[in-house]
Amino acid sequence: MEKLIVEGGRQLSGEVRVSGAKNAALPLIAATLLAPGKHTLHNVPDLRDTRTFIKLMGELGVTSERKGDVVTLDSTHLVHAEASYDLVKTMRASVLVLGPLVARLGRAKVSLPGGCAIGARPINFHIMGLEALGVSCTLENGYVDAEISTPLQGNVIYFDIPSVTATENLLMAAVLAEGTTVLKNVAREPEIGNLVDMLTGMGAKIQGKDSDRLTVKGVTSLRPADCRIIPDRIEAGTYLIAIAASGGRGTVTHCNPAHLPALLEKLKATGLIIDETRDTISVSWPGGTANSSRKLQSVDITTMPYPGYATDLQAQFMALMAIGSGVSLINETIFENRFMHVAELRRMGADIRVDGSSAVVNGKGMRGLSGAPVMATDLRASSSLVIAGLAASGRTEITRIYHLERGYENLVEKLTGLGARVWKETM
Ligand code: EPU
């Protein structure tokens, strides 16, 4: 087991390059199941989650090879249609093979993911949508058994809540269904746009990209894909917040500023200076870097489906607000248990009170936090502890850092490149 040591109090500066998006890579890898042949994906981040997903694909019969950030996947011969509990329990996104397997093979068996650290996270929308396309789904022994007796049939499917992976799963099933499928009230996250582009490149007929309604005209077959993963907007946002919280100035490169509308407005509202180009975002304090006369305004956030403020950037923003100059109200509307980082941030001196789905953060100012031993509980909670550690005086030791490794490529190297004193130690 390893822990991460952060020696805080150093102002970060310089440039950091953003990797491909984890949450785009996973559905795009799953989509290679839809067409036999050799698919090429570019800008695939090398993370614990992408490795786990590629391992799952291997169990299904997909062979793969990685050269740098390019991954080729050959899905010519599928040998299996099952995602086991052993894999699904380590990565809920494994459920993304359900739609494409049913579309390609007519059947799939996927372990039902249990609850996770951030909430119950049911998959009822995935199942309801597949049933609407004519799939019979039974739940037995902890598995969803999905099967069709006649070809998938297009239908109208309305989601009560926009769900990212349910939209992706249904889209992947609908592209090979007979007739037209209309998906209403779908999620509009940029990762779904990336999947739409990949599927369209494979020969799928989809209208409504980036809107809340996707219309899919089914086709009988698709060809292999050659597609690029979009930049990771959550990673970009995490580094912007980290640089700001350290009191420094810096630039995230190879990103898409248009994918971070809410975060950039909120950072500006704190008084920070944000400069964008087509593929970079710079953050700085008025006059350059933080000093004793500069204060960070506290601002409120409410997490919402895209283009609202991303739940995956809530914990990081809370760490920033912990060193703000006033009171910030943070509302979490997507997941019911996404405040696990609060108790750990408190150990570092943060003044945060939780009431249901809201947290009230009483900012302690730039010198307000001090390093402490803390425990990571989920991916984004972990990155908020790193941010707090960078802003704090003294040493922070973060255990359970495997959570971080699920979603941040070369975190230590990237932070070190920005001038942070961060390293891993074996426990
Ligand atoms: N929901 C249901 N039933 C369903 C599906 C979702 O009630 O069948 C609810 C969820 O419980 C939640 C809301 O709908 O309250 C939205 O959840 P969504 O389905 O959109 O989440 P997800 O698809 O499981 C993806 C990301 C998450 C990210 C959320 C929200 C991937 C692989 N995962 O999860 O990413 O937080 O969307 O944006 O794309 C992360 O990267 O750290 C992460 C957790």
Query: Average pLDDT per run of 10 along the chain, which is 427 residues long?
Result: 95 98 98 98 97 96 98 96 89 94 96 76 93 95 93 97 97 98 98 98 98 98 98 98 97 98 98 98 91 87 98 98 97 94 97 97 95 95 97 97 94 98 95
Q: Are residues 27 and 168 in the same domain?
A: yes
Dihedral through CA 330, CA 331, CA 336, CA 338, nearest 10? -20
Q: Are residues 47 and 178 in the same domain?
A: yes
CATH number for the domain that contains residue 205: 3.65.10.10
Q: Are residues 37 and 70 in the same domain?
A: yes
Contacts of 411 by beta carbon, 8 Å cutoff, 6+ apart:
386, 404, 405, 422
The answer to whether the beta carbons of residues 187 and 305 sit under 8 Å apart is: yes
Q: Are residues 10 and 46 in the same domain?
A: no
Number of structural domains the chain divides into: 2
208: left (phi > 0), else alpha (psi -120 to 50), else beta? Answer: left
Q: Are residues 93 and 220 in the same domain?
A: yes
Query: Which of 194, 228, 262 corresponds to the end of one domain?
Result: 228
Per-residue pLDDT at 335 = 94
The answer to whether the beta carbons of residues 171 and 181 sit under 8 Å apart is: no
With the most atoms of ligand 1 within 8 angstroms of its CB, the residue from 110, 127, 163 to mutate is: 163
Per-residue pLDDT at 203 = 98
The answer to whether the beta carbons of residues 287 and 334 sit under 8 Å apart is: no
CA distance 20 to 71: 12
3-class state of residue 142 by DSSP: coil
Domain that holds residue 323: 2-19+231-426
Q: Are residues 392 and 421 in the same domain?
A: yes
DSSP string for 252-266: EES--GGG-HHHHHH
116 catalytic per annotation: yes
Per-residue pLDDT at 114 = 64
Give the Cα-Cα-Cα angle 215, 44, 23 (nearest 5 degrees). 50
pTM here is 0.98
Cα–Cα distances (Å) from 155 to 36, 152, 271, in that order, read 25, 9, 48
Q: Are residues 254 and 202 in the same domain?
A: no
AA letter at 394: G
Q: Are residues 12 and 72 in the same domain?
A: no
**What tokens were used for 299?**
């601002």
Q: Are residues 7 and 27 in the same domain?
A: no
Q: Are residues 199 and 267 in the same domain?
A: no
Query: Which of 197, 228, 259 corresponds to the end of one domain?
Result: 228
Q: Are residues 38 and 129 in the same domain?
A: yes
Q: Are residues 210 and 316 in the same domain?
A: no
CA distance 415 to 16: 8
B/e letters for 359-392, b = 16+ CB within 10 Å, e = fewer, are bebbbbebebbbbbebbbbbbbbbbbbbbbbbbb
Query: Which of 228, 245, 269 corresponds to the end of one domain?
Result: 228
Residue 413 neighbours by CB distance under 10 Å: 10
Atom 2, ligand 1: residue with shortest CA distance? 122
Relative to the CA of 312, which ligand 1 atom is closest?
Answer: 36
With the most atoms of ligand 1 within 8 angstroms of its CB, the residue from 124, 165, 212, 332 to mutate is: 165
Atom 7, ligand 1: residue with shortest CA distance? 122
Helices of type H across 259-308: 261-269
